[in-house]
Homo-oligomer: A and B are copies of this chain.
Amino acid sequence: MPKVIPEYKEKAKQRIIEAATRAFAQNGYHQTSMDNIAELLGVSKGAIYQYFKSKQQLFFDVFQSALIVQKDEVMSIILSDNPLYIASEEFFETKISRARSFGLDMFLEAARNEAIKTRMTKIYDRSYAEFTKHVEDLKNQGVIKRSADVGVVWRGLIALRDGLLSSVFLGADTSDAKKTWQKVATLLLNEILVKETG
């Protein structure tokens, strides 16, 4: 069924990316065949190749689209009124469901792909730059301690998040993970926030 709608191509790509994201996330890059994705879409293998020249390219695009989502979300929280929301179990809950729909091993596959690594580093760097810029404002507003080493906290939070998510996927108890997140994140944020919280 040819579709002559102008933006159809973009929509088709998007649909494929979504299906692929689901498939990669659930079964991993290697366990997912182009056939799987096509079937998920109710479409023939060949159709996918009209939009992505290879499985690698599809993966790359899937990954990038996921990264963009991640970045946006992190930024929005940082810029929100209540920075301590980050330390809530609710926040971590959304992380879990998002990660579940993203797939850890996509990161590992990505880690083997130089092009992806470069891009990812770039995205993280930009994200970090925006973060520190915003932090400067918060310091001026007296929300964050002037002396705070924000980099450490930032990296600590991200590592904690990733590590806890991994543990959940590897079978750890979810409520333990959530509680851990809440406590440790609070601890970290209190290191930099002026007004103590518990």
Question: Residues on A close to B: CB < 8 A?
Answer: 27-31, 104-105, 107-112, 117-118, 120-121, 124, 149, 151-152, 155-156, 158-164, 166-167, 169-172, 176-177, 179-180, 183-184, 187-188, 191
Q: Is the interface of A mostly helix, strand, loop or mixed?
A: helix
Q: How many copies does the complex hold?
A: 4
Partner of A152, one of B156, B169, B183, B191: B183
Distance from A151 Cβ to chain B, minimum over Cβ atoms (Å) = 7
Further contacts, 4 of them, CB under 8 A, given A110-B170, A152-B184, A155-B177: A28-B112, A108-B169, A111-B169, A159-B177
Q: A28-B108, A184-B188 are in contact. Are A164 and B170 (CB under 8 A)?
A: no
A153 to chain B, nearest CB (A): 8
A-B pairs, top 6 by smallest CB distance, nearest first, are A159-B163, A163-B163, A162-B163, A30-B30, A105-B108, A156-B184
- Bound together, the chains give a CA A108 to CA B111 distance in angstroms of 13
User: Among B152, B155, B163, B171, which residue has its beta carbon within 8 angstroms of that of A117?
Assistant: B171
Min CB distance A170 to B, Å, is 5
The interface centre, meaning the residue of A27, A118, A149, A167 with most chain B CB atoms within 10 A of its CB, is: A167
Q: Are A111 and B155 in contact (CB under 8 A)?
A: no
- Please judge, given known A-B contacts A104-B108, A105-B105, whether A167 and B155 are in contact too, CB under 8 Å: yes
- Assembly CA distance A121 to B29 (angstroms): 25
